């Protein structure tokens, strides 16, 4: 059909999108997975732990609409890569934090990147898929977030036990870095 993208390219892009959003969910859930270690390391209250979790989502209030406009102006790939870059920088700040303040700043930066990535991934899916395939592709993209969260809960706690919480948090940064690399190498405009 005219204007239709080749099937294999569409599904390859969806695999890249799934991997990227899995990495995003993995990093989001890192605080929950590492809570006992963070409480011990920083002498955090439960309110501070909740704030660290929430700070990841808070930037969505400010950056959701501008993020879409940035994608329109600069393109999906550039904004996605910039968002993943913020996710990496924010995660590194948390990994090397000496206290709550630095960890909170890191979570806010990572959350800002997460908002941009989430918006762009939905946009990329909508650009690549049509009709019934759009529903399937969007469903798979959305399922990647909780999949990444589940992986974080399964992997990061045990990793922190055998290494340290900093190594485990850095694993979330590595996942975002891999997603950035895959996106930058494989992404194609539809």
Three-state DSSP at 75 gives coil
Q: Is the pLDDT of residue 2 over 80?
A: no
Residue-wise pLDDT for 26-55, tens only, equals: 999 999 999 999 999 999 999 999 999 999
Q: Is the pLDDT of residue 139 over 60?
A: yes
Three-state DSSP at 151 gives helix
pLDDT the model gives residue 129:
94
Angle, alpha carbons 157-61-67 (nearest 5°): 95
Task: Report how far apart the first and last C-alpha atoms of the chain are (Å, whole number).
Answer: 15
Give how far Cα 114 sits from Cα of 42, 84, 176, Å: 25, 7, 10
Give how far Cα 91 sits from Cα of 23, 66, 101, Å: 12, 23, 14
Residue appearing with tokens 């704030």:
51
Three-state DSSP at 97 gives coil
Give how far Cα 140 sits from Cα of 24, 56, 144, 170, 189, Å: 14, 22, 6, 26, 20
pTM above 0.85? yes
DSSP 8-state class, residue 99: S
Q: Is the pLDDT of residue 3 over 90?
A: no
Residue appearing with tokens 């969910």:
25
pLDDT the model gives residue 149:
98
Q: Say if residues 155 and 170 touch (Cβ distance below 8 Å).
A: no
Choose among 100, 108, 84: nearest CA to 172.
84
């Amino acid at each position: 059909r005219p204007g239709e993208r080749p099937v294999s390219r569409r599904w390859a892009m969806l695999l890249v999108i799934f991997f990227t959003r899995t990495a995003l969910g993995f990093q989001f859930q890192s605080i929950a997975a590492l809570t006992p270690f963070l409480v011990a390391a920083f002498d955090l209250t439960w309110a501070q732990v909740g704030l660290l979790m929430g700070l990841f989502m808070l930037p969505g209030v400010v950056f959701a609409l501008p993020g879409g406009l940035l994608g329109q102006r600069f393109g999906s790939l550039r904004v996605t890569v910039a968002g993943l870059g913020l996710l990496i920088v924010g995660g590194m700040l948390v990994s090397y934090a000496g206290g709550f303040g630095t960890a909170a700043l890191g979570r806010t930066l990572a959350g800002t990147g997460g908002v941009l990535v989430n918006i762009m991934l939905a946009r990329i899916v909508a650009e690549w898929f049509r009709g019934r395939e759009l529903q399937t592709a969007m469903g798979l993209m959305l399922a990647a977030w909780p999949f990444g969260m589940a992986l974080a809960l399964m992997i990061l706690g045990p990793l922190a036990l055998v290494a340290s919480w900093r190594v485990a948090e850095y694993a979330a940064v590595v996942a975002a870095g891999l997603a950035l690399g895959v996106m930058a190498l494989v992404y194609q405009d539809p």
